[in-house]
């Protein structure tokens, strides 16, 4: 049931990205010889499309904001308890600090979300569009999986250490 829900959620995001990722080069209208991602500036409303929020539940959602030459995807990852909360924060912050390795990752997430991507027309020219979308969707799956595995590992380590400590009294 949960796997089914996840599939539906990811399929919805994929379809939205396929429709939204139609980017073209568009120089800045306000400053000569400048080329800026319009989705970040938001100074010209005619260049922006309606943003879309896809919610899996209250804790998990995805915000897709599109403009003529850029697309911003923000993700909110589920955090069931305090341990998942700190693991998610640490991991996503770790990735954001190394954003240059990902090229499409934003150094700072949009407020209210855990991680954000910024895709521009240049990225679409250098990389294949389908593979970019595959990367985003795969990233979402991998993050969920990694957080769960990390939590399990931390609890398993704690259990082993507690066992070793109490063994000394026997």
Partner 1 sequence: MPRHRQKHNMACFQRESPALKEILLRLYRAEKPMELDHHLYEFGSVEYHVQASASIPDNTYLSIATPLLYQDVVLSSGLPRYTLEMVKGISPDVIEIIEPPKEGYKLTLRLKYSRIPRNKGGVKMIASISSVQGVILSSQLKDMLMNVNSLEVSQGMYRPVKLIYHPREPFFVIKQPEKITAVFPMRFKEDTDVIIATAFFQELMDIGSSKAFVKAPHCIWSPIPPAELRGEPIEDLSTNGGFVSFDITGRHVEGKRLDKTVWNLLNFYAFVKYHVKSTRGFIQRRMRTRLESLVEVLYNAGIKDEHHIKKKNRGPKGVRKLLNFSKSKLLKKRYNFINKIKRIRSRIKIHWFSRFRKRWLNFSRFSSLTRYEKLN
Write down the least CB distance from residue 115 to partner 1, Å.
Answer: 12
Closest CA to 57 of 92, 117, 111, 8: 8
Report which secondary-structure segment, H or E, holds 1. Answer: none
Greatest Cα pair distance in the chain? 78
Q: What is the nearest approach in angstroms of partner 1 to the Cβ of residue 140?
A: 11
Number of residues that bind partner 1 (CB under 8 A): 42
Using the rule CB under 8 A, which residue among 1, 3, 31, 166 binds partner 1?
Answer: 166
Asked if 137 interacts with partner 1 (CB under 8 A), we say: no
Question: Least distance (Å) from partner 1 to the CB of residue 167?
Answer: 8
- Distance between CA 11 and CA 83 in Å, rounded? 29
Q: What part of residues 52-91 is at the interface with partner 1 (CB under 8 A)?
A: 82-83, 85-87, 90-91
Measured between alpha carbons, how far is residue 28 from residues 32, 37, 38, 42 in Å?
A: 7, 8, 8, 11
Quick check: 128 binds partner 1 (CB under 8 A)? yes
Does 132 sit near partner 1 (CB under 8 A)?
yes
- The continuous run of DSSP H or E covering 34 comes out as none
Q: Which is nearer to partner 1, 33 or 167 (CB)?
A: 167
**The total number of residues written for the chain in this structure:** 170
Q: How near is the Cβ of 84 to partner 1 at its closest, in Å?
A: 10
Chosen residue from 30, 80, 146, 152 binding partner 1 by CB under 8 A: 146
DSSP labels, 35-81: ---HHHH---GGGBPPPEEEESSSS-EEEEEEBSSEEEEEEE----S
Residues that bind partner 1 (CB under 8 A): 82-83, 85-87, 90-91, 94-95, 98, 101-104, 126-128, 131-132, 134-135, 138-139, 142, 146, 150, 153-155, 157-159, 161-170
């Amino acid at each position: 049931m949960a796997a089914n829900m996840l599939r539906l959620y990811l399929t919805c995001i994929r379809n939205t990205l396929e429709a939204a990722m139609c980017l073209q080069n568009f120089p800045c209208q306000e400053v000569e010889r400048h080329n800026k991602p319009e989705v970040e500036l938001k100074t010209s409303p005619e260049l922006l499309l309606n943003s879309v929020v896809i919610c899996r539940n209250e804790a998990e959602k995805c915000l897709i904001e599109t403009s003529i030459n850029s697309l911003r995807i923000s993700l909110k990852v589920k955090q069931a308890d305090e341990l998942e909360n700190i693991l998610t924060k640490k991991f996503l912050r770790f990735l954001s600090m190394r954003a240059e390795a990902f090229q499409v990752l934003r150094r700072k997430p949009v407020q209210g979300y855990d991680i954000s991507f910024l895709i521009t027309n240049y990225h679409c020219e250098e990389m294949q569009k389908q593979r970019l979308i595959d990367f985003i969707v795969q990233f979402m799956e991998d993050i969920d999986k990694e957080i769960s595995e990390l939590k399990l590992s931390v609890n398993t380590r704690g259990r082993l250490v507690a066992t070793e400590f109490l063994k000394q009294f026997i």
